[in-house]
Amino acid sequence: MAGVWVCGRAGCGTRFAGVARFAVSDFAYLEREEAGDGRVMAALAPVRRPVPADAPAMAGIVNGWIDATPWMVRDLPPEEIEALMVKGMPVREIWVSGDPVEGYISVEVETAHIWGFYCARRGQGLGKHLLDQVKAGRDFLSLNTHVPNLAAQRFYIREGFRAVGEVEPGPASPLSELEARVPTGLRELRMEWRR
């Protein structure tokens, strides 16, 4: 039976649930199928801070997710989502992976709240890769996820988050102008992580 080998900061030889982790470089992961042929499934680029030129790729990930998610209501036009990416760079702690960007996470430093977390690829360690960067040096994080987004909730639970209650639909981000947004009407679940 094939397993997944993951190289990362966890240290050489750590094995859990069919996964082994090996140190390669800071926050650079490499996944391999254990079928014996050494095929590389995915190489994850080091996590880095974004630059304004990354905004179109970051917005493309969000817009692609909105367009592909049947229950999601578009609350901003695609070009405004890109503008929000640029607007958030100087005021948020934002991390990206890939060039072009394949995933990003945006944290409000003062409250340790994750306002945006999107990945172009699922199930290949990219989300964990980004979340590990944000967890480093922190004892607490919070986020809101849409109640219908069960896959995201399962991921967050695997990463140690716990649901603390539903919240009424509100602004997706304090960076956006509220009058420009179309209310989605979707309930959100607040989740928190503590070390």
Q: Looking at residue 73, what is its pLDDT?
A: 87
Q: Are 192 and 142 in contact (CB under 8 A)?
A: yes
Q: How far apart are CA 147 and CA 168, in angstroms?
A: 11
Answer whether residue 185 shows pLDDT above 90. no
Q: Looking at residue 42, what is its pLDDT?
A: 56
Q: What is the mean pLDDT of residues 1-27?
A: 34
Relative to beta strand 162-167, strand 188-194 is antiparallel
Answer whether residue 69 shows pLDDT above 70. yes
CATH number for the domain running over 47-194: 3.40.630.30
Q: Looking at residue 170, what is its pLDDT?
A: 58
Q: Per-domain residue ranges for the chain? A: 4-44, 47-194
Answer whether residue 2 shows pLDDT above 70. no
Answer whether residue 171 shows pLDDT above 80. no
Cα three-residue angle 162-181-78, rounded to 5 degrees: 90
Tens digits of residue pLDDT in 74-99: 888 999 999 999 999 999 999 999 99
Number of residues written out for the chain: 195
Q: What is the mean pLDDT of residues 12-28?
A: 36
Answer whether residue 145 shows pLDDT above 70. yes
Answer whether residue 9 shows pLDDT above 90. no
Q: Looking at residue 163, what is its pLDDT?
A: 97
Quickly list DSSP for 40-61: EEEEEPPEE---GGGHHHHHHH
Describe the crossing of helices 78-88 and 55-68 by its angle, rounded to 10 degrees: 140
Cβ burial, residue 11 (10 Å; 0-12/13-18/19+): exposed
The model carries a pTM of 0.75
Neighbour tally for 86: CB within 10 Å: 17
Neighbour tally for 89: CB within 10 Å: 18
